[in-house]
Amino acid sequence: MQVIEQLKKMKEERFLQIYESLAQDGFGPLDGEVAQALKFRPHAIRKLPFAKRSKTAHSILVRGGNAELCYELFGSYLMKNAKDIVTDFLDGTGVEHEDGMIKSVEESKPAADKISSTVADLDGKYDPADVTLYLALAAEQWPGVPEVDSVWRMRA
């Protein structure tokens, strides 16, 4: 559950940045769950500031330990805002993909001997916080490749 560990270590401002970046038409990505938790009508949730909604969404994810929902949230953020990190990691470690989408996670695994050098390249080109976030997803996605988890844990 690396994504939950990453979420727990994440600063409130960082989660707010991710949450706001995924907003559409004034709604945050987890506003349905937030509205339910706060006993708001779904449309009325837009009256609350994003900071309050983000804080509640963060709390919902941490308390519930919903790794799948957290994984989707972080994955959506990366594909929208930092897709090159995803594609560069996959290319650098020899994982077949189509524009960042992997057909078979079980069959396409990153080459262990290329992970460290690929991550070093990513750090030189992109925001290290986004690289670390992606590594949390990758570690969860490929539990059979301990080198991914190891490089993430050294950063987290």
Residue 17 has pLDDT above 80, yes or no: yes
| Co-location of 64 and 126 in the same domain | no
Of the two residues 76 and 104, the one the predictor is more confident about is: 76
What's the pLDDT score for residue 42?
Answer: 87
First to last CA, the chain: 13
Residues 6+ apart with CB under 8 A from 146: none
pLDDT tens digit sequence for 87-98: 999 999 999 999
| Co-location of 150 and 92 in the same domain | yes
| Co-location of 17 and 48 in the same domain | yes
Segment 115-139 shows an average pLDDT of 97
| Co-location of 43 and 62 in the same domain | yes
Residue 154 has pLDDT above 90, yes or no: yes
- Based on the structure, what is the number of domains in the chain? 2
**Residue range of the domain that includes 149:** 82-155
pLDDT range class, residue 23, cuts 50, 70, 90: very high
What's the pLDDT score for residue 104?
Answer: 87
Residue 106 has pLDDT above 90, yes or no: no
Mean pLDDT of the chain: 95
Query: How far apart (Å, rounded) are the C-alpha atoms in residues 121 and 123?
Result: 5
Secondary structure element (H or E) that encloses residue 50, with its range:
helix 50-64
